[in-house]
Amino acid sequence: MYEELKLPRMLKGLEQVFEQFPEHRTGKNTQYDLSDAGMGAFSVFFTQSPSFLAHQRDLKLRKGRSNAENLFELRSIPSDNQIRNLLEPVSPTHLDCFYRQTFQALEQTGVLKSYRSFANQLLVAIDGTEYFSSKKIHCEQCSQRILKNGETNYFHSALTPVIVQPGNEHVISLEPDAKRIVPQDGHEKQDCETQAGKRWVEKHGAFYAKRGVSILGDDLYSRQPFCQALKDKHLHFILVCKPDSHANLYETVDFLAAQGVLATKVIRKWIGRYAEIHTYRYANKLPLRRDQSALEVNWCELTITREDTGELIYKNAFATDFEVTDTTVEAIVRDGRTRWKVENENNNVLKTKGYHIEHNFGHGNQHLASLLLSLNLLAFLFHTVLDLVDEQYRAIRQALGRRRTFFHSNSQYGFAFHAADC
């Protein structure tokens, strides 16, 4: 079961994608294939823990299978500089098909069934994250900002969509958008992140809409242009919707509340030492902004207070295209709240749990930084999928504890990507 999602098959599939990388060399210096370089870079990100390999040996796993060390050692792997030179001209979009294949394999094997949430949808949380920052190193794709001291800071950002599920720590990475998010002319960060979001929806939205997807996002996404882009692709959405940025919508909410016609649902929850009061308020068909062409959205809000002290524990609100009723409001809010997982279970893991996505593994002048980011995200996707379907892998990881860093002592392959001086 799940054979196509186990390590040997996943690696084989990835190698086939590397083999499709466009050949950019014209001379005869082709000692290594581009797929050697791709696999070499990927192996660094995948085997982030040296003890993971040692441990696998100890467990005497089936010979030649599920053994990352064997799988990578059998290959001829170029040096780190050769890898950088070979991969530099390759756009990260050449890896998109592998994310898509993995999604389809997860779907076909039924793994994604358990991820389905309200209205049988998959929840895709989108968020932007910076993965490189330097005052010295930069490339044509770098974004830049002027610091208070007048120095220029160069950086890259990427949109990193993931499938999330309430109560599930495993997030499943989808194709990132690693193109330059912030243009050189100093657009607001928020504008540019939503531009990246729209670009992603334009490119991938129709595919995921057919599979039943609700997009989750921060307040900056619950604006008319982005909501319209989602509607155009028939994607559902549950997006944070704050009063400060939606004055017109909240005027309507306040008016309905003042008239005593704003729907409200109150639930008392005993959570051990005290009870929480969960107050839901909701309304349907509210104009998202003031003008004539405003989209209508449905709105719901949750306020949680302590019953004994009245202390405010949580308050948030969402704009959605799902009809909000007494029976749907709890599930819609629960799904909307799952958005934070893209920050906690994705961006933070990628920064602090052995992936080091903020390090500079190699920058290049064209695509290298963004290609390496996408390979790093793929390593994270591999780990997640193996955690979900491969019992042996799960046992090894549990025996080892948390993910550990691989980058400082990767001598087994005769090379390592050391973080360059940023």
Q: How far is the CB of 236 from Zn ion (least distance, A)?
A: 35
Q: How far is the CB of 129 from Zn ion (least distance, A)?
A: 15
Residue reference for tokens 């950002």: 157
Q: Would you say 142 or 332 has its CB closer to Zn ion?
A: 142
Q: How far is the CB of 146 from Zn ion (least distance, A)?
A: 16
Q: How far is the CB of 364 from Zn ion (least distance, A)?
A: 8
Strand order across the beta sheet in which 152-159 lies: 128-134, 152-159, 143-146
Q: Would you say 142 or 371 has its CB closer to Zn ion?
A: 142
Pairing of strands 312-320, 236-240: antiparallel
Cα→Cα distances 207→69, 101, 361, Å = 36, 12, 32
Which spans of this chain sit near Zn ion (rule: CB under 5 A)? 139, 141-142
Pairing of strands 128-134, 152-159: antiparallel
Reported as half-sphere exposure (CB side, CA atoms, 13 A), residue 393 has a value of 20
Determine the Cα–Cα distance for residues 86 and 22; give it in Å rounded to an integer: 11
Consecutive H or E run containing 201: helix 189-210
Q: How far is the CB of 95 from Zn ion (least distance, A)?
A: 18
Q: Would you say 141 or 173 has its CB closer to Zn ion?
A: 141
Determine the Cα–Cα distance for residues 332 and 121; give it in Å rounded to an integer: 11
How crowded is residue 212: how many other Cβ atoms within 10 Å of its Cβ? 15
Cα→Cα distances 81→78, 84, 242, 369, 415, Å = 8, 5, 48, 14, 9
Q: Would you say 14 or 142 has its CB closer to Zn ion?
A: 142
| Torsion sign (Cα): 19, 24, 28, 34 | negative
Q: Would you say 341 or 356 has its CB closer to Zn ion?
A: 356
Q: Would you say 17 or 142 has its CB closer to Zn ion?
A: 142
Q: Would you say 171 or 178 has its CB closer to Zn ion?
A: 178
Q: How far is the CB of 296 from Zn ion (least distance, A)?
A: 41
Determine the Cα–Cα distance for residues 7 and 141; give it in Å rounded to an integer: 33
Q: How far is the CB of 198 from Zn ion (least distance, A)?
A: 22
